[in-house]
Structure 1
């Protein structure tokens, strides 16, 4: 059974929040996601719909929380959690771990909980008019096969790099703050650097959210750096034209001067695989690889309203007026009682 979150589920969501996984990396690393807060907001609407699932005859349960912005065409799975499966043997304690994530295969209990929750998430996304639902999962985690079974496909992959402290010497800042006259060039840079297939699910750079910095060479915009500062960390995205590859070190170093990282407030940089050459510059600047992920997407079908029956009857009852006049063919009149014949 699956239903929207209610007040009686408060203790359940609070308990399972410590056992789940965030499928939106930026929120997990920079905002300290609290599912209980979003669940309470969902009671009066908002952008964080939450659904609770309980097995019919067993004790398994779980919940899923989405982030569906009205002005966006794409939704994200923010958090998903299920009750732990009772241990049946000692092998459960020796599952292989990588980057703090279990690489074991999904259990039967997890499968029975994830699939209905994911199906309901897609339905909710489609009913709100959004075109797709996005989930970011570890490349070797057990969540990837579960999402595949639910109909999600991998559109691209990404690497997350982290820098906690920077001891680089300050140099001349080559980046300048984004201005309104740069907006069109930023969109053009996005169109020229992001593959067309990925553009279907990756939104354009959020120029009005956070800070934007640009690099111009000979009056052409060759780099755009977007920086979003959260309460726990800073999130950075780089959009760099291949012609500016030689300046990657200066671009990154200039961006670090805008938001210097600290041990308590690190900076994370998300690099999609289609710009993997950027990672070499990050490594030279002291960044360390935090993890590699698959960006999985499932498209939804938007709800179309039915046409009004009254209007349909009016349209069906109307006759189509011809636009070209019809000229009938008439025989020429007889001459002296005889028909005129063409000469052979």
Structure 2
């Protein structure tokens, strides 16, 4: 199994890595039992997950070993069809050593096939996007008369796609809006009128103001930031994490899993850390590293907002990948 040896303490250690894979068929069932969901544990999993702003949203490419041939045949026929929209949904969840389960991806399958290149060690390859089903679903138009808050309009669109809706401070208004097409198309029409940051993934539609500068005040002659730092000694519930995402920065340092040193790229700051399910699009990181060159924005505060996050996960593989790579921009 994937594991790490002496990552931070210098002492030999082995941490088992587990990823739960869940397939849900929409409109059809698995076999004669009528079940529409199958859960797979203990497989050799190689998952590459990307989390970015809508419309790119979240995507996953997954390679599975150990799946029964009959199930491979069933799932290989479940990719979306332009005529029937016969679709399946993929969910990936990491099983933490403390017993908690963190969903790291949920989206519609766009490609699923058996790979016999390395037979007899056959693989099942799946590609999925969080925007696939919202873009494929048929939905009635969404319209309001007069002035309506963005949260009300986009919340109505999210409900038509079966998504939870969370507003992180967008106060824009729409006037006599009329959105048509699939929920994904309706969402895109909203963004053409009023730009904002939008995340679509793991069953949730999240929106933020397009500009989110650090709010600061003066206290005793010193600048204080309107962000708190999350530490391992102060756990919060999932609901609390959702509500405080823009107000709570995740601490990133060598002690919390930072690997090597951050580097510069055209998109901003690039860094690698041990896998952290809390890190995703628009997450605020509090970076603690002596290699934050002057001129990189708010380097004194060390606050960076994630533009793209990449999770690379492998299970049942010696020295397998278990990383989160981040591209982030400084809060200014």
> Structure 2 length normalisation: TM-score?
0.26
Bigger fraction of residues in helix: 1
> Structure 1 length normalisation: TM-score?
0.25
Bigger fraction of residues in strand: 2
Select the structure of larger CA radius of gyration.
1
